[in-house]
Amino acid sequence: MTFLQGLLSSISTRTRLLGNASNAVQGSDAHLHALASACETLMQRGGEASQIMTAQRALTHYQQLEPEERQAFFKLLADEYAAEPQAIHAAYQAYCESEDNAALEKLFNACEPRRQDLLRRLNLCPGGTFELVKMRADLLKQLRHAPDLAALNSDFSHLFNSWFNRGFLVLESIDWNTPAAVLEKLIQYEAVHAISDWRDLRRRLDPEDRRCYAFFHPATGDEPLIFVEVALCKGIPDNVQRILEHGEEVPMDEADTAVFYSISNCQAGLKGVSFGNFLIKQVVQELSRELPQLKNFVTLSPVPGFADWLAEQRTSQSVTLSQPLQTFLESGESSGLPAAVHKEFMRLAAHYLVEAKHRSGQPLNPVARFHLGNGASLHRLNWLGDISSKGMQQAHGLMVNYLYQLDRIEQNHEAYTRNYSVVCANDIRRLAGQADQYFSTEANA
């Protein structure tokens, strides 16, 4: 086996190691105590010689816990693995005298919750990182009912932002030659346009005009963190069903547009660690290098929340719609609709995306926030771009193209962060302006 092959094979077998170990553990009600005791051992000075085994034992016990036991464990971390108030007071007094770096360092150390050190030590064992990611996913589920765990959540977040730093991530191209063990995870994690089976998966990966990229982290092996599906097209597409059905393959020398039509985060436990931003930009770079003929890099994005927002406007009577449009919104029946209705709908859509804002000043629509925050611009609205039941339900079929222009990204991003103004194509801005006529008073969410 060659040098680098060895490197990989050890990476990819890590998760298994832990899995097997877990079989050895039996009996369940003692796991919480055993876990608590293993954590204590792990933090002791004398236990260093067998830290890896202790960490592995701890995580194996954790796996066996029932949900309520997990909550008890999280409470234990929150209560017993905070910091020593006395040590903090003393360090603060010392800091006040000098306010220098040496005193700051001591104060920082005194303030660091012991939980962070514990998590670092649990991470010593093979497969530990992925177990900790799953542990945080458990925590997030309990968070809304147990707000006192928020600080523990911040500890995880602090560590994961350091560990899953962009510099440690690896971009991988995924295709039909990828191991099945990875591919089945795409089916599982796809969050935008569900993959129905292996044939559907193959349609998205195997044709020459289809690409897929994912970020991986060496310590979590073949578990994808986020992935994006790309279609290479001639012109900017306005409809996602045509992409998903994949009729005729576009010859590579005719393709001028790369469309990001699905982006899915895979690990609930990594919430708050931002990958999507970096992923899209790096994929744009990769594709530009490989296929210099590509001119446009766009998304074909859903508009979740649009239907709900419109329903609210109607309920609160802040908007007045034509009868045919109301009929369409209620029935979804689009054949035979007059052009005026189409226009009315598009104005409302433009208004929603450009004008409808949160109290924070940010756009209401979460997908818009993501892409505009990345420096993309709102490029085009697509009538009946997604006629699946999900697409009709969440946005009456509306889809949107966001445009990524490498030489505009920074300035777009700055414009957006300055005052959350939506960078968009002129005709969309015009449409948004024309929507005023439908609103009794200016509607803001």
Nearer of residues 81 and 438 to its own copies, judged by Cβ? 81
Q: Could you say which of 371, 377, 379, 396 is catalytic?
A: 371
3 state SS of 44: coil
Do 60 and 22 touch, CB atoms closer than 8 A? Answer: yes
The C-alpha atoms of residue 183 and residue 168 are separated, in whole angstroms, by 22
Three-state SS letters, 213-229: EEEECHHHCCCCCEEEE
- Is 358 a known active-site residue? no
The nearest distance, CB 43 to its own copies, in angstroms, is: 14
What is the residue whose two structure tokens read 């991003």? Answer: 413
Nearer of residues 85 and 247 to its own copies, judged by Cβ? 85
Q: What is the DSSP letter of 100?
A: S
In 105-129, which positions are buried (b, 16+ CB within 10 angstroms) versus exposed (e)? Answer: ebbeebeebbbbebbbbbbebbbbb
The nearest distance, CB 346 to its own copies, in angstroms, is: 29
Nearer of residues 107 and 232 to its own copies, judged by Cβ? 107
**Which of 167, 156, 271 lies closest to 215, judged by CA?**
167
Nearer of residues 132 and 428 to its own copies, judged by Cβ? 132
| Token duo for residue 184 | 């089945």
The nearest distance, CB 70 to its own copies, in angstroms, is: 18
**Which of 228, 271, 191 lies closest to 371, judged by CA?**
228
The nearest distance, CB 81 to its own copies, in angstroms, is: 10
- Our measurement of the distance from residue 211's CA atom to the centroid of its chain's CA atoms, rounded to an integer in Å, reads 19
Instruction: Please enumerate in sequence order all residues whose Cβ is within 8 A of that of 301, keeping only pairs 6 or more positions apart, or say none.
Output: 367, 371, 399, 400, 401, 402
The nearest distance, CB 389 to its own copies, in angstroms, is: 25
The C-alpha atoms of residue 318 and residue 310 are separated, in whole angstroms, by 10
Nearer of residues 150 and 268 to its own copies, judged by Cβ? 150
Nearer of residues 129 and 313 to its own copies, judged by Cβ? 129
The nearest distance, CB 113 to its own copies, in angstroms, is: 6
Q: Could you say which of 193, 301, 377, 396 is catalytic?
A: 301
- Catalytic site residues? 301, 371
